[in-house]
Every structure is written in C-alpha cells, then in structure tokens.
Structure 1
Amino acid sequence: MAVASAIPFSLLLLMRITGMMAAMLVVVWVVHFRGGMTLISEDQGLIRNVHPVLMLVGLILLNGEAMLIYKTALGTKNYKKVLHLVLQAFALALGVTGIWAAYKFHNDKGIGGFYSLHSWLGLACILLFGIQWLAGFASFWNTRSGRINKHTVLPWHSFLGLYIYGLAVAAAETGFLERLTFLQASRTISRDSLEALVVNCLGLVLALLSGCVILCAITPRMSKDDVYRALQ
C-alpha cells in the first residue's frame, strides 16, 4: 500500500531552518571568533576548530536528514535505501574526521584526551554509529536475510538510530559548554561577550533542531486512504 509522510510542512520547514541556523552559527563561531579551520596547519588551534563543524554537520545535520529520508524523499523504496545508506556513510566519515582532528590537537599539545563527559559521549556515539551502519548494511542489504529477520531488526535499528542521534546532540551540547567554560576560565573571553552569546544561541538552536528531528522521526507514515479520510 502506498504511504505518504504525515509530517506537517511547517514542522519540516522549521527543522530545515534551524538546521541551517545551526550550521551558520558554528561556522561563524570557528571562523570569525576562533580564527578559522583547517586539517593541515602548524597552528593546532585551527585543526581543533574543524572538530565542532564536522561533528555537527555529520552526526547531527546529515544524520538527521538520513533518518527522515523514507518520509521526506520522493522515489522508490530502493532509491531511498541507497540515499539513506550514502548519507549515513558521509555522516560517519565526517564524524571520524572530526574525532581525528580533536585527537590530533590534544596529542600535539600534550593534553590528555578522553577525560571529560563530552569526550566519552562523543566516543560512544561514533562507535555506536559505526556498529549501527555495519549492522544495517548486513541486515537490509544482505539478500540472504529473510523478511522475518528484517522485520525483527527494524524496530531496534530505528530505536538505536534515535538513541545515537540523542547522544550526538548531548555530546555537542556538552562540547559547547566545555569549550566556552575553558575560554571564560582562562579570561580569553568574558561571560557577556558576543562570542559567548553566539555559542549559547547555537546550543539553543541545536536543542530546538533536535526536538524537530525527533518529532518528525516518530510521526507515523500514513497510507493514501488514511490521508484521504483525514481530509474528510
């Protein structure tokens, strides 16, 4: 039976707007206030600045879009499966690169890594993301996997996807707080500075975005008959 998305257009529009705002704010933060970003530089601070951008774009923005592909994209089911898989692969690649950038900064500076709640959440998120991607590929692209097996795996795949997304948001929020605390404690910026305002706004926008994504994800799809009856 054909299905259609039951996601209200206004909710989908709000999700896209907040996603663009989050991307814009994180880029403004690292480029305008923190001096820019690059993967290759003698300035380790520029390498560190890659981390928040790639983690947010990969594990939150791309991941969120990939989670909703079956409800938002047009096309056949196989096309949506391919798009879902590819977007998640890109998200994972960006996440791994972002983790590497943070590790390289800490290693080159001689700073111990993986000591904070932020780093533990981030590491757990990227490990679970990799396991989820491999498990999903094995379950839903394996021609030997029967329909009953896929039917059993799907609810757990969906739950773990939402859980990982929640971990990514929690890791990002704690990361913003950790970085802002370090900057303020070292008197690099003041508590009422414009940079502090930008980072706090970024955290609020991300909280709003995550709510929109999760609400879109749990909104059930409707058959065409259901849509017709709802409009009567």
Structure 2
Amino acid sequence: MRGVGSEERGVHIPLWLFVLYQLSSVLPTFLIVYWMWYYRDGLVWDGSAPNWHPVLMVTGLTYFTSQSLLTFRLLPFSRAVKKALHVILHLCAATCSAIGLAAVVEFHKKNGHANFLSFHSWCGLVALVLFAVQFLSGCCTFLYPGARTEHREACLPYHSMIGLGIFGLSALTSLIGINEKMQLALHDCRECNGTDEEITSEIVLANSVGFITLGFSCLVFVIVAQRRYTTFPQRQKHSLLL
C-alpha cells in the first residue's frame, strides 16, 4: 500500500496487518447483531429489551473511534482529507453512542429500573463524558483557524494520548458489558428452569465476541505504537494540523 500524492511518504503498514485490523474491527458489531437478533429477542425499540444498546455502543465507541484514531496511520490521502475523515468518524461515533445511551435509558425507564448502578454503566458514562470533552477541545484547538501554532504543538501529544486512553476505556467497558449480558442470559435460562448446557452456543458466541474485541483493541495499540506506520511525509511527521 503506497501513499497518494507527492506530499505523502506512503503507507508502510503491511497489507496483511491492514486487512486483519479491518476485519477484526467490524466483526464484533456483526456478531453482536447476530447475538441480539438470534438469541435476545431481536432489535426492537419498544422498551422490551435493550438490545440496540450493545450494538450501537460497540459500533460507536470501538469501531468508529478506532477508525478515527488510525486515520492518520492507515489512509494514503492528503492531510486535509484525513483531517475531515477524523472529524466525521468521531461524529459517527458520537451519534451511535448517544442513540445507544438513549436506548438503555428508555428500557430502564419503561421497566422501572434505576440508571447508572453497575460498574459497566459508570465506566460507560465516564467514557462518554471524556469523549465529549476530547472532541470539543480538539475542535477548538485543531479546527479553529485562529488557534496559535505553538498551542497546537503543545496540545497534540496530549490529544493523541488521551484519545487512545478513551478508546481503551471504551473497549474495557464493552468487555464488561458483554460479560454482564452473558450473565443475564444465564440467569434468564435458570429462571426458566433450564440448564447451562441449553445456552452453550450463546455463551460461546458471547465469549467469542469478547475475545475478538480484546484482540482488535490490542491490535489498535500495536499499530499506534509503531511509529513507522504513518502516512505523514518526513517534513510533516510532527505536523500539528490533524
């Protein structure tokens, strides 16, 4: 994979790693959709089941966020195009997350449950708040035309580090949520006088989603850690304009 345009050095990430990342990033969403549709009463918005919540949260805070994080590492486009994609992907993540949060709040409201009692919900709320603050501060720093170059230069390392930390927290929250959903499935089966063996296939699916999400998240950190995986030209390697 080579860069496009004379200003780019080319993308030095191996093709197999690029394909592995793309497949592993989208697979959790597809598997969770299948899980909710086949085992957990489908994807409905009537308050009977909060199944849109895991689908939208995983799509927003892991898939779209990771794609946005790696825009400047993987895509052989001009700096302006990558900057626009970075913002658009973050907006997609914010939209999915807001709808996903509304879905679970609506479910709790209809069924008389309190919100934000579990550790999963606390982690998710912190991740959303940090995401919003990071997004707004990034817009003020890197999109505002009047921002000083020195200020951007000073903020860039922190912007990148905090963004990666928020992604890590989001992935952790997703893993906790998957485990929580799996425990609820076991509880529902036992309440119906069933046995654990009756939902073995669902548990295998849930654990598979968890392992794939974990592996995909680690892959993001590996790609970010490799400084050679970048599309910035040498003279702009430390550029401030994301």
Given the two structures, how large is their TM-score scaled by the length of structure 2?
Answer: 0.86
Which stretch shows the higher mean deviation, 155-164 or 6-15? Answer: 6-15
Aligned match of 2:24: 18
Q: Residues of 2 paired with 1:88 and 1:217: CA distance? A: 17
Partner AA of 1:197 in structure 2:
V
- Counterparts in 2 of 1:209 and 1:190: CA distance versus 1, 3 Å: farther
SS at match of 1:37: coil
Equivalent position amino acid for 2:140 in 1: A
CA distance in 1, matches of 2:145, 2:178: 43
Matched residue, 1:115 = 117
Task: Judging by fraction of residues, say which structure has more helix.
Answer: 1
Cα distance change on mapping 1:130 and 1:104 into 2, 3 Å:
same
Indicate the residue corresponding to 1:179 in structure 2: 181
State the shift of 1:223 in Å. 6.7
Match of 1:162 in 2: 164
Work out the percentage of aligned pairs sharing the same amino acid: 27
Give the whole-Å Cα distance in 1 for the aligned partners of 2:18 and 2:217: 12
Contact 1:2 1:223 in 2 (8 A): yes
- Shifted more, 182-191 versus 28-37: the winner is 182-191
Distance of 2:231 and 2:26 partners within structure 1: 28
1:83 aligns with 2:85: yes
Aligned twin of 2:223:
216
Q: CA deviation at 1:12?
A: 1.6
Which residue of structure 2 lines up, in the alignment, with residue 92 of structure 1?
94
- Aligned CA distance change for structure 1 residues 223 and 63 (closer, same or farther; 3 Å): closer
- Contact in 2 for aligned 1:190/1:196 (Cα 8 Å): no
Q: How does 1:22-41 map to 2 (within 5 A)?
A: 22-39=28-45, 41=46
Aligned to 2:103: 101
Distance 2:96 2:8 in 1: 34
- 2:58 maps to what in 1? 56
TM-score, normalisation: structure 1: 0.89
Secondary structure in 1 matching 2:146:
coil
Name structure 1 gaps, 5 residues minimum.
226-232
For residue 137 of structure 1, report the CA deviation from its aligned partner.
0.6
Which letter maps to 2:112?
A: G
Counterpart contact for 1:4–1:71, Cα < 8 Å:
no
Q: How many residues align?
A: 221
Q: Which runs of 5+ in 2 are unaligned?
A: 1-6, 235-242
